[in-house]
Structure 1
Amino acid sequence: MRGRGFIFGVGTSSYQIEGAVNEDGRLPSVWDTFCATPGKVARGETGAMACDHYHRWEADLDLLAALGVDAYRFSIAWPRVMDEKGRPNARGIDFYKRLTDGLAERGIRAFVTLYHWDLPQWMEDRGGWLNRETAWRFADYADLMSRELAGRVTSWATHNEPWCAAYLGYGNGHHAPGHNVARWGTQAMHHLLLGHGLALPALRANDPHAQMGLVANLGPGYPGRDVHEDVDAARLYETYQNRWVLDPLLKGEYPADLFRLWKGTEPVVLPGDMETVAAPMDFLGINYYSRAVVSSTGADSFEWVRDPAVERTTMDWEVYPQGLQDLLEALRRDYPNLPPIYITENGMSSDDHVQDGVVDDLQRQSYLKRHFAACTRAMARGVDVRGYFIWSLMDNFEWAWGYERRFGIVHVDYETQRRTPKRSALAYAAFLRDRSL
Structure 2
Amino acid sequence: MSDLFGTDAPAAVPHEQFEDRPLADRLRPKTLDEVVGQDHLLGQEGVLTRMINSGRLGSLIFWGPPGSGKTTVARLLADQVDYHFHQISAIFSGVADLKKTFEMARQMRANGKKTLLFVDEIHRFNRAQQDSFLPVMEDGTIVLVGATTENPSFELNAALLSRAQVLSFKSHDRDAAEQLIDRAAELEGRKTPLDDDARRALHEMADGDGRALLGLLEEVYAATKDNEVLDQKALEALVQRRAPVYDKGQDGHYNLISALHKTIRGSDPDAALYYLARMLVAGEDPMFIARRLIRMASEDIGLADPQALPHCIAARDAYQMLGSPEGELALGQAAVYLALAPKSNAAYNAFNAAMRVARETGSPTPPKVILNAPTKLMKSEGYGDGYQYDHDAPDAFSGQEYFPEKLGRQTFYEPVERGFERDLQKRIDYFKRLRLKRQTGKS
Instruction: Return the TM-score normalized by structure 1.
Output: 0.25
Structure 2-normalised TM-score? 0.25
Higher fraction of helix = 2
- Higher normalized contact order (CA 8 Å, seq sep 6+, divided by chain length): 1
